């Protein structure tokens, strides 16, 4: 349980971190809260020669409003998201999601940037990030680019981040009128990771017809995904309980669910359908 030897750097700015990333390339790893990377290093599943600790890069720790959006710095801890008064008003879905991650120790150390960059198939944030249609700002020595949430999660533990790139910010839309959101999950008993987690965002028009709907599901497949078939059935309709129940039956459509010692593929697909309905029902009551 002792990691392989590595050199340790503690930059105090993004520029300094990027210079180190450029210098050490594929042999370097960024360290955020360490709650995914350190266990991997202890198991020697990751053996970086250089570790670049972002813990002192204060410019990456913030939650602030910008017009119709809220911007969250990559090094913002889960506990800060969970307790942010701004997010509670403008993006309660992220607050609800952060509040059910692991336990208090994990939430005190883990960061939103580390979680999405790691892209664990059982992590909670990816479901919410997808349902919110968030955008992610990444920088490298060559410049910056924005990546849509849907393009960011590529596969299990794989994102669109390229070597030399650092995730700096997550941009989410602020809550609109006549909108309801919810995140519900089934935690794996020992760790709290999601066997299934469903995030729902619903917006209705004056006649209570569904104008916008987005459902993000994590824990079920190798990567978090949008439940497009569910969304398609609800868009433009009045959100009656029977319609929500029928649409939720499509929550695992086109998905090849994970099958492991924690849950069978069949059980995960079942959870996706049941928790999709619960998330949508809860979101409706909050409109």
Binding site for ligand FAD (CB under 6 A): 29-37, 74, 101-102, 106, 110-111, 113-115, 117-118, 120, 123-125, 161, 166-167, 191-193
The sign one gets for the Cα dihedral 224, 230, 232, 234 is: negative
Q: Least Å distance between CB 265 and ligand FAD?
A: 21
Question: In terms of CB distance, is 34 or 92 closer to ligand FAD?
Answer: 34
Q: Least Å distance between CB 212 and ligand FAD?
A: 25
Question: In terms of CB distance, is 19 or 174 closer to ligand FAD?
Answer: 19
CB 237 within 8 A of CB 188: no
Q: Least Å distance between CB 203 and ligand FAD?
A: 26
Distance CA 115, CA 123 (A): 7
Distance CA 175, CA 201 (A): 10
Distance CA 283, CA 273 (A): 16
Question: In terms of CB distance, is 222 or 229 closer to ligand FAD?
Answer: 222
The sign one gets for the Cα dihedral 208, 84, 145, 27 is: negative
205 in the Ramachandran plot: left (φ > 0), alpha (ψ -120 to 50) or beta? beta
What six digits make up the tokens of 277?
Answer: 């309905």
Question: In terms of CB distance, is 124 or 135 closer to ligand FAD?
Answer: 124
Question: In terms of CB distance, is 61 or 249 closer to ligand FAD?
Answer: 61
Q: Least Å distance between CB 278 and ligand FAD?
A: 18
Question: In terms of CB distance, is 21 or 175 closer to ligand FAD?
Answer: 21
155 bridge partner residues: 158
Q: Least Å distance between CB 34 and ligand FAD?
A: 4
Q: From residue 184, how far is each of 10, 53, 165, 278 by CA, in Å?
A: 37, 32, 32, 7
Residues 6 or more apart in contact with residue 92 via CB below 8 angstroms: 175, 181
Of 192, 203, 275, 194, the closest CA to residue 239 belongs to 203
CB 222 within 8 A of CB 128: no
Q: Least Å distance between CB 36 and ligand FAD?
A: 3
Q: Least Å distance between CB 31 and ligand FAD?
A: 5
Q: Least Å distance between CB 220 and ligand FAD?
A: 14
Query: At 20, phi and psi to the nearest 5?
Result: -65, -40
Question: In terms of CB distance, is 124 or 231 closer to ligand FAD?
Answer: 124
Question: In terms of CB distance, is 81 or 214 closer to ligand FAD?
Answer: 81
Q: ∠ CA(78), CA(81), CA(120), 5° rounding?
A: 40
- 3-class secondary structure, 50: strand
């Amino acid at each position: 349980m002792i990691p392989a030897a590595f050199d340790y750097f503690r930059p105090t700015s993004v520029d300094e971190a990027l210079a180190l990333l450029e210098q050490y390339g594929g042999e370097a790893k960024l360290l955020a809260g360490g709650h995914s990377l350190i266990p991997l290093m202890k198991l020697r599943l990751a053996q970086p020669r250089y570790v670049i600790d972002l813990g002192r890069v204060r410019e990456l720790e913030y939650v602030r409003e910008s017009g119709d959006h809220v911007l969250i710095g990559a090094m913002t801890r889960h506990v800060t998201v969970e307790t942010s008064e701004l997010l509670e008003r403008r993006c309660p879905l992220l607050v609800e999601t952060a509040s059910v991650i692991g336990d208090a120790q994990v939430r005190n150390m883990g960061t939103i940037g580390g979680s999405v960059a790691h892209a664990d198939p059982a992590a909670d944030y990816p479901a919410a990030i997808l349902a919110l249609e968030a955008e992610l700002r990444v920088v490298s020595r060559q410049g910056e680019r924005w990546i849509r949430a849907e393009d960011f999660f590529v596969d299990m533990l794989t994102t669109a981040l390229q070597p030399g790139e650092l995730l700096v910010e997550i941009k989410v839309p602020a809550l609109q009128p006549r909108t309801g959101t919810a995140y519900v999950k089934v935690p794996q008993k020992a760790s709290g990771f999601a066997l299934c987690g469903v995030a729902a965002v619903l917006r209705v028009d004056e006649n209570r017809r569904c104008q916008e709907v987005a459902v993000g599901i994590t824990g079920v497949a190798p990567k978090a995904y949008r439940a497009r078939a569910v969304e398609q059935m609800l868009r433009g309709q009045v959100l009656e309980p029977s319609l929500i129940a029928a649409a939720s039956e499509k929550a695992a459509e086109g998905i090849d669910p994970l099958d492991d010692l924690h849950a069978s593929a069949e059980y995960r697909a079942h959870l996706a359908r049941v928790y999709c309905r619960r998330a949508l029902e809860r979101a409706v009551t909050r409109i």
